[in-house]
């Protein structure tokens, strides 16, 4: 294999599996996985404060869609975070694993976000969402 192809393969894998804003500590990491058991796992989430790993439906446009699951996060490094899915996901569908905060919520420790809401909303760094997109197997 030529070196250029190897580098392209590594870059492509990194883009699909991990979303880390260069030079910053906030991140969501995950990979394509079997979700037939009703849950999805982020391998690592770095959060600036207590918050949420939120699972959104998405598609090739990569825009966040309806929320179909969430899991609580603690400030700092969170490993192997499992979020229960509220509805079935078919093989081949894309899911967006996104970091959400606790700010703006009426009740601490209670997930209150709905699409477009300010309650427990998405965390952004340099204007970009902290998220990773995976494909269900």
pLDDT for res 16: 40
pLDDT for res 6: 44
pLDDT for res 106: 84
pLDDT for res 114: 87
pLDDT for res 103: 84
pLDDT for res 119: 92
Domain count, the chain: 1
pLDDT for res 105: 79
Domain residue limits at 45: 3-135
pLDDT for res 95: 98
Neighbours of 117 (CB within 10 A): 13
Contact 15, 70 (CB under 8 A): no
pLDDT for res 14: 43
Q: Which helix (H) or strand (E) holds 128?
A: strand 128-129
pLDDT for res 115: 84
- What are the residue ranges in the chain where pLDDT is below 70? 1-24
pLDDT for res 118: 85
CA separation for the pair 112, 38 (Å, rounded): 21
pLDDT for res 25: 86
CA separation for the pair 108, 90 (Å, rounded): 33
């Amino acid at each position: 294999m030529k070196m250029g192809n190897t580098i392209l393969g590594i870059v492509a894998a990194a883009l699909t599996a991990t979303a880390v804003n260069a030079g910053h500590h906030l991140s969501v990491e995950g990979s394509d996985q079997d979700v037939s058991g009703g849950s999805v796992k982020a391998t690592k989430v770095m959060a600036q404060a207590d918050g949420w790993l939120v699972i959104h439906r998405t598609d090739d446009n990569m825009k966040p869609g309806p929320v179909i699951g969430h899991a609580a996060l603690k400030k700092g490094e969170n490993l192997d975070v499992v979020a229960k899915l509220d509805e079935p996901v078919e093989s081949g569908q894309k899911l967006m694993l996104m970091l959400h905060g606790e700010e703006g919520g009426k009740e601490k420790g209670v997930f209150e976000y709905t699409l477009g809401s300010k309650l427990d909303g998405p965390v952004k760094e340099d204007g970009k969402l902290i998220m990773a997109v995976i494909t269900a197997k």
